[in-house]
């Protein structure tokens, strides 16, 4: 992990390895909201202190 303008940025290789626990598909990183988004599941998983929280109970439902 590296430090970028006060916010933890993660290793892109780690992102590529993570999958949505609901849809079993890849995730899209939203840097502005600090979330990992699963469009197929309609969920966004928060990233807190540089750590992805991959719990369905903690995920935000997407408003599409």
Count: domains in the chain: 1
The whole domain housing 20 covers 2-61
Evaluate the CA torsion angle 23, 27, 28, 33 in order and state its sign. positive
Answer yes or no: are the C-beta atoms of 44 and 36 closer than 8 Å: yes
| φ and ψ of 16, to 5 deg | -65, -25
- Per residue in 15-24, pLDDT tens? 778 999 999 9
| Domain of residue 27, CATH code | 2.20.25.10
- Per residue in 6-51, pLDDT tens? 344 567 677 778 999 999 999 999 989 999 999 999 999 999 988 8
């Amino acid at each position: 992990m590296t430090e970028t303008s006060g916010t933890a940025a993660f290793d892109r290789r780690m992102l590529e390895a993570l999958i949505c626990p609901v849809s079993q598909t890849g995730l899209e990183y939203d840097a502005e909201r600090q979330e990992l988004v699963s469009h197929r599941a309609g969920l966004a998983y928060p990233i807190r202190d540089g750590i992805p929280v991959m719990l369905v109970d903690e995920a935000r439902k997407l408003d599409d």
